[in-house]
Amino acid sequence: MAYYVNRNISMTWWERSYIPEILKGLWLTSRRFFRNLFGFLPFFLGTKKDRRIFTVYYPEEQVQYPIAYRGRPVLAQNEDGQPACVACGLCEIACPAYCIHIEPGENSGKQNQYERWPDVFNIDYAVCIFCGNCEEACPEEAIFMSDDCEISMLDRKKMLYTKEQLLVPVADLQKRIEFTRNMYAKWNY
Ligand code: SF4
Ligand code: SF4
């Protein structure tokens, strides 16, 4: 559904006088500031169960990311342990950061039941911009944006993940799979 911004909003005299609105904004910001600054006290004194502050004590506490969140891209792994990827290369082409590298496997007719699969599938997270283009381009539901963003490292070379490191069981990706089906079904390609 299209959303239109109403640009014809008329302000009241009070709003046009400017200063009261500034003071209102300052009051709101200050209230949040002091609430966050001292909001932990009742929690530590044991009088309240809820800390009433919005900061999270990471890494002891973790944030539950919304399903639309784009963390590191991962490869879906079928129940037989094989990647769902057919090495078509569409994600590699769609990637604006050129951080995906795929080498298709050759099927001599006896390796496995799959006609096509990636022998090599690397993603360099040091270069990835988490745009989600790879997920959108994939015709096989084989690559998905996960909610994992804890990939910082001291050595950039270790941020190059291989196929084995990228695989995540398809059962663990069900929510994201449903989300992408709903999301991409809306676009008129
Ligand atoms: S999320 Fe974007 S930058 Fe990262 S691998 Fe996918 S297409 Fe490339
Ligand atoms: S992940 Fe998807 S788009 Fe990328 S090569 Fe595999 S099947 Fe093709």
Using the mean position of ligand 1's atoms as its centre, give its distance from the Cα of residue 162 in Å. Answer: 15
Q: Which atom of ligand 1 is nearest the CA belonging to 100?
A: 5
Which residue in 170, 159, 93, 67 sits closest to 122, CA to CA?
159
pLDDT of residue 170: 96
User: Averaged over 112-130, what is the pLDDT?
Assistant: 90
Using the mean position of ligand 1's atoms as its centre, give its distance from the Cα of residue 8 in Å. Answer: 40
Using the mean position of ligand 2's atoms as its centre, give its distance from the Cα of residue 166 in Å. Answer: 13
Q: CATH says 73-185 is which class?
A: alpha beta
Report residue 139's pLDDT band, with 50, 70 and 90 as the boundaries. Answer: very high
- Residue 175 three-state SS: helix
**Is residue 151 within 6 Å of ligand 1 at its C-beta?**
no
* Length reported for the chain: 189
CB 129 within 8 A of CB 95: no
- Atom 2 of ligand 1 has which residue's CA nearest to it? 131
Using the mean position of ligand 1's atoms as its centre, give its distance from the Cα of residue 119 in Å. Answer: 19
| Entry pTM | 0.75
Q: Which atom of ligand 2 is nearest the CA belonging to 92?
A: 4
pLDDT digits over 172-187, tens only?
Answer: 999 999 999 998 876 6
pLDDT digits over 12-51, tens only?
Answer: 888 888 899 899 999 999 998 888 778 777 877 888 777 7
Place of tokens 């911009």: 129
- Atom 8 of ligand 1 has which residue's CA nearest to it? 95
pLDDT digits over 56-113, tens only?
Answer: 888 888 888 999 999 999 999 999 999 999 999 999 999 999 999 999 987 766 656 7
- Atom 3 of ligand 1 has which residue's CA nearest to it? 128
CB 118 within 8 A of CB 163: yes
pLDDT of residue 176: 96
pLDDT of residue 32: 86
Using the mean position of ligand 1's atoms as its centre, give its distance from the Cα of residue 125 in Å. Answer: 9
pLDDT of residue 137: 95
pLDDT of residue 55: 74
pLDDT of residue 133: 97
Write the DSSP string, 95-152: -TT--EEEEEPP--SSS-S-S--EEEEEEETTT-----HHHHH-SSS-EEE-S-----
pLDDT of residue 30: 96
Query: Between residues 4 and 96, which one has the greater pLDDT?
Result: 96
Residue-range domain boundaries for the chain: 16-55, 73-185
**Of the bound ligands, which one is closest to the alpha carbon of residue 128?**
1
